[in-house]
Amino acid sequence: MLRIRVRPAALLCRSASLLLFAALSGPIFSQTAPASSPGTSGSMLPSTTVKSDSAAIQVMRNVMAQSGGETAWREIRSVEESFSVLGTGEQTPHVMLLLDDWSLDTTRYRRKVQGQSTPPSDHSGASTFPVNNAEATKLVAPEFDQARVLVSRLPAAAAEVMLRRKEYVLKISQMQICKGKDVCIDVYRSRGFTQPPSLDQQWKISGTTGLPITVRYQTSTVGHVAGSIWREVYFLKYATEEGLVVPVSIGLNLRGQRQTWTFVSLKKNPGFDIPKFDSEVAQ
């Protein structure tokens, strides 16, 4: 279990429906090697190729523009959202409350399933956190960077982070298959000066609306055999909420476990106020 105030590993184990929820905020706990992901050859950029494509930058700027405006997203540094979540085979949806703050250079978030006694999933800034797996073996799990924490629900916020921060490299994809006027972007991220940027995300963006259609993003597994898997996000419908164009119907797929997230509410710039968030969850 986590050596902080929460136990996301418990969320992963309780049910298949909660697997995707916990997966939005950290690594997957695995006892077997994950299947390799298709279409990820060339997943490392040569060290000399460190600049983003100007066309890819423009496409991501347009994602922000079509999502309420570049200025609007640059002025947002925290969001509180709630979603009604229904997993495959479930009859009754459950409500997720999610608080994200990207006002600092480190990842901060808090998650809670309303009406359940499971402690909130929480992270407050470190790049890794200690965990115990099912066999109580002590491991260190890598935390998601800011862009991957945000991308499944707030793609425009993820685009703003990636355009602002130097570790991200955006490329017009040579490995994805894009149809018609749609545009595919590969996102690479540097993890230090000694390694070339590696592939983290793959976006498909509508040539008609300028909004993301799908995003795939990579994460690590933690267990006897460490590795990586890809999570798939499908943006099924957008709507204007609080002056922002955001996904209001989202499909998630993680290793065959599927969920549908339906938007309930959004608050802009609430800050990272944990007591306030917890009191709202309890209501």
Q: Is the residue at 35 inside a domain?
A: no
DSSP string spanning 195-243? S--EEEEEEEE-TTT-SEEEEEEEEEEESSS-EEEEEEEEEEEEEEETT
Domain that holds residue 57: 46-118+151-220+228-282
Domain-located, residue 168: yes
Is the residue at 60 inside a domain?
A: yes
With beta carbons less than 8 A apart as the criterion, state whether 232 and 216 touch. yes
Residue 52 lies in a domain: yes
The domain total for the chain is: 1
Could you tell me the two tokens for 60? 């991501």
pTM exceeds 0.85: no
Please list the pLDDT of the chain residue by residue as tens digits (283 residues). Answer: 333 333 333 333 334 444 445 445 555 444 443 344 444 445 777 655 579 999 999 999 999 999 999 999 999 999 999 999 999 888 999 999 999 999 998 889 999 998 877 777 767 666 555 555 555 455 666 667 899 999 999 999 999 999 999 999 999 999 999 999 999 999 999 877 777 899 999 999 999 999 999 999 987 665 555 567 899 999 999 999 999 999 999 999 988 889 999 999 999 999 999 899 988 887 7
* Residue 11: inside a domain: no
CA dist., res. 215 & res. 204, Å (int): 6
Residue entry with tokens 């007591």: 275
Is 130 domain-assigned?
no
Please indicate, yes or no, if residue 133 is contained in any of the structural domains.
no
CATH code of 114's domain: 2.50.20
Residue 14 lies in a domain: no
